[in-house]
Structure 1
Amino acid sequence: MLIAQITDMHLGFDPDNPAEFNRKRLDKVLATLNELDRVPDLLFATGDLVEYGDVDSYRRLDRALAACNFPVHMALGNHDIRVNFSHVFPDVATIAGGFVQYALDAGPLRFVVIDTLEEGRHGGGFCEARATWLRDTLAEAPDRPTVLVLHHPPIETGIAWMTTEPTEPWVERLDWALRDHRQVTGMICGHIHRSIVTGWKGRPLAVCPSTAPQVALTLAPLDPETPDGRPMIIADAPGYALHYWNGDALITHFDTADEHVALARFDDSMQGLVSMLVGERPSR
């Protein structure tokens, strides 16, 4: 199974511009996904779908995603506004309180999407009601391999201005909800605008790069009261992730929608090498 992921599209950042930079970057990624030699089974868009949470931007997002040749599922991030999102996407499931949380069975996997949006706060939030729903939902299918989908990664990233403290209450509630549910074989997130792979509480966790501009990789300590001129946002290529389920584990690949110049192709000159490499493997 092949799962595509995009995140942090921030549509509407330049709302009055018909040639909006972030929309162009998103369209480029979606075109790349549509043209892959193996079409994804589905796509997750993991939050910060729009910049200001306005209805018009969600409508533009709806039009953009209509180009996809595969089902699209969404999670919310800190730039989103639930009521406006649900106005444009009324078929996306919510729980009591309007939180966008739902479970999805697809092929060999179960996906559980949770809502870490705390409106008015940049960092994550996860209240007791959302945590209890997650714990109960996981308990419904304890033997089915499950992937958790969320916006905010509950990790300390090393990027001083874009990180989470492990002792934040929402992180502790998420840990409580996941505790003892070993069927969660992976977590996919957004928010940081960079590719990151790590583990959290014994589970693999992958952070997808943004379709909008990326966050600079600066790991030096930061004094919030003393601007030091470090780069913060950079115009690197729009990125995406592909998560491949091999029947046992989720394998994550990151790529960009830039042009990739092929230095070798599978033609007669490469056929001998390919045959040798494949032949070294035991037959299934």
Structure 2
Amino acid sequence: MKKSPLAPVFYMLAATLLFALVNIGIKKLPDLPAVEIILFRSVISLALTLGQLRWLGVPPWGQRAQLPDLLLRGLAGAAALVLGFLTIKQLPLAPAVTLQYLGPVFTAVAGIWLLGQPVRPWQWVFFGISLGGVAVAQGFSGLGWAGVALGLGAAATSGLSYVFNSRIGTKENSLVVIFYFQAVTLPIAAVWTCFNWHTPQGADWLWLVAVGVFTQAALWCVTKSYQHGKQAAGIAALDYLGLVYAAAFGTWFFGEKIKLSTYIGMAVVLLGVALNAWYSARRTSHKPAQ
């Protein structure tokens, strides 16, 4: 059966919402070090992944030819995870997430060399529109340089990990890609936690489980999206929609005030996303059949 061309879009939209829920869980654990949350998250996600792989009868190690890309995806993903958690811990939710949503630009640039996918001039214009919307919505005034640097590092490594997802494509089961991600992240977090451990208390345990479960679902969705998507840059543009979730959840759960400029900026972001998605779909539909 032919897969729907909109499937990667739906997977990415679901992943964006799930990652937003993960961010809420992180902010609900202010007394736990970021790396400790990563440890619990990795343990839960790895256990779920191994259980699913065993149920499907799929070996977790994948094909030898894909090993370099699987390991590189794991390393880039681990770096993005650590930097992203540190950013969320250090900055308010909305600006922390906004910084990380610069990732699609890094995905587009890396895709030129690693995937051979040129970014068309109009796509750069649309990315610029979205980035302009980010600047209008949040800006960087009042944010410490350390937090901004962490957010940019998270965006760069996240964008790179998405490119390796696309390089792997459908040659590996989505769960195998997730397995390598967690297998690389877990030992790093375990060693780091030995030097900075705080025992979770009460509701902390529930939030840790929620972070792990939502993470697993989000990783599966985002991996499926990049594996089946035809254009990494076009899919990555959908990631900007997480700004809407960040602004809404920041207001509802953490009392963050939203200014008029934020609404204007979000509208500009969505305009850039919509134009990029439309342009990518138009180019794909006009390509001659192979």
TM over 0.5: no
Rg larger in 1 or in 2? 1
TM range (shorter): under 0.3
Structure with larger RCO (C-alpha < 8 A, sep 6+): 2
Structure with the higher fraction of residues in strand conformation:
1
TM-score, structure 1 normalization: 0.28
The normalised TM-score by structure 2 is 0.27
Q: Which has the higher helix share?
A: 2
